[in-house]
Amino acid sequence: MRESVVIVGGGIAGLSLALQAAADFDITILETEFQPGYHSTGRSAAVLHIPFENDVVHRLTLESVEFFQSPPRGFKGIADSMSILRIGRIADEPKIEHFFETWKERCSWLVPLSQNQLLARCPILTNDFTNGVIDRRSLHLDVHHLLTCTRQAFRELGGRVETNFRVVSIESVRGSWILTSDSGSTVNADIIVNAAGAWVDEIAKLAGVQPLGVQAKRRTGIRCKPKVFSSSWPMCYLITDDLYFKPEGQSLMVSPCDATPSEPCDAQPERIDIAQAIARLEQTTTLSDVVPEECWAGLRVFVPDQSPVIGYDCNHPGFFWYGSFGGFGVQTAPGCSKLGARLLRHAPLTETSLTALELSPRRLTQSD
Ligand SMILES: Cc1cc2nc3c(=O)[nH]c(=O)nc-3n(C[C@H](O)[C@H](O)[C@H](O)COP(=O)(O)OP(=O)(O)OC[C@H]3O[C@@H](n4cnc5c(N)ncnc54)[C@H](O)[C@@H]3O)c2cc1C
């Protein structure tokens, strides 16, 4: 008989791991909300950026690109190509240079651009923006479609998704876990996968497992209509990390790149962050009187080294961590879930540059 696995959390993390592991385990996903993807996953900027965050995230992204570019049957249309411009004012020249020097070996397609070249690609930039780097290998992702396809494929393999199931208690009885919902339903499992996003430490505490000490950080997005043709522009990302904007059809998605520490919650946009998004957009471009049509916020979740945590807990053999996906959980989902499924069945990691220790919770407790 196959071992039973309960995955707590029906975001992109829980769903993609469930699909990858469905051939080896009998899997049930438990999700608090009425639909999967309600929290961080449904609030992302939906971008894949290869020179991003750190070396581990970069390599996990490389492991994922092919899935998005040549998706398996049933996943067509999950990604479109897109360029990203990292841009800076004259005073930011060292930062642009640093970005280019950091990534040019690993991303040979990055090209530095002059002011005229920046303006040719994004004509609304003000004259303050004098230098930049273009990355033509980024992708725009259709997260809703990705989630729907993943859930469908998982179900076709016999997997179960229980929504409206908020786990409120976890007991360990003779080597098996019993998870109870707020309405009193129970599910038993041999293994728990903790894919609860901002709530991973809460789930650990329920199970009597030492929490990792993750930090959730709120990030805001707004959508506006620029009233000028924008769909051919690249995404523009300030090298000072305080604004990005990205064309989406006739709209622009804009974020002030806020990273305000937050408790796990249903994050809501604050007026100050919306105002900052608008002010910075108007300082960066020739757009004025920008009116947001939609505003939202979501949580990005980190451990101190800003890489994911994937692996069995050091002290609780039936408790598997699958969290801390920061601002890269969608773009790394194919790679993380492939490696995660191997680690879940205690198989060695092969045909990858990543090691189990780079992903394991163990690395967070090692002093050297
Ligand atoms: C504004 C913003 C922009 C972003 N942009 C990008 C981007 O461009 N590219 C990218 O790759 N990533 C991006 N991210 C990050 C990405 O969204 C996250 O890394 C990813 O969604 C994390 O997925 P997850 O499944 O771990 O978390 P979640 O989607 O939050 O899923 C966790 C789930 O666990 C459930 N849960 C929690 N507690 C319980 C419980 N007790 N019982 C049952 N269920 C429970 C929750 O209801 C939730 O649905 C962005 C994030 C934000 C906020």
Ligand 1 centroid to residue 323 C-alpha, Å: 9
DSSP assignment of 231-299 equals TTSPEEEETTSS-EEEEETTEEEEE----EEE-SS-----HHHHHHHHHHHHHHBS--S--EEEEEEEE
Ligand 1 centroid to residue 324 C-alpha, Å: 9
Residue 349, helix vs strand vs coil: coil
Handedness of CA 278, 94, 234, 148 (dihedral sign): negative
Q: Report how far residue 326's alpha carbon sits from residue 160's, in angstroms, rounded to the nearest whole number.
A: 26
Ligand 1 centroid to residue 37 C-alpha, Å: 7
Q: Is 246 in the pocket of ligand 1 (CB under 6 A)?
A: no
Helices then strands, counting H and E runs in the chain, come out as: 9, 19
Task: For the chain, give the number of residues.
Answer: 368
26-30 and 4-8 strand pairing: parallel
Read off the tokens for 304: 């101190």
Report which DSSP code applies to 39: T
Q: How does pLDDT run along the chain (368 residues), one tens digit per residue?
A: 899 999 999 999 999 999 999 999 999 999 999 999 999 999 999 999 999 999 999 999 999 999 999 999 999 999 999 999 999 999 999 999 999 999 999 999 999 999 999 999 999 999 999 999 999 999 999 999 999 999 999 999 999 999 999 999 999 999 899 999 999 999 999 999 999 999 999 999 999 999 999 999 999 999 999 888 778 899 999 999 999 999 998 899 999 999 999 999 999 999 999 999 999 999 999 999 999 999 999 999 999 999 999 999 999 999 999 999 999 999 999 999 999 999 999 999 999 999 999 999 999 987 55
pTM greater than 0.95 (yes/no) = yes
| Kind plus residue range of the DSSP H or E element containing 118 | helix 115-121
- Residue where the block lists tokens 């020179």: 51
Atom of ligand 1 nearest to the CA of 9: 34
Q: Is 11 in the pocket of ligand 1 (CB under 6 A)?
A: yes
Domains and CATH numbers, the chain: 4-46+144-213+305-364 (3.50.50.60), 79-141+215-302 (3.30.9.10)
Q: Is 328 in the pocket of ligand 1 (CB under 6 A)?
A: yes
Ligand 1 centroid to residue 130 C-alpha, Å: 35
Q: Give the angle subtended at the CA of 297 by the CAs of 143 and 260, to the nearest 5°.
A: 125
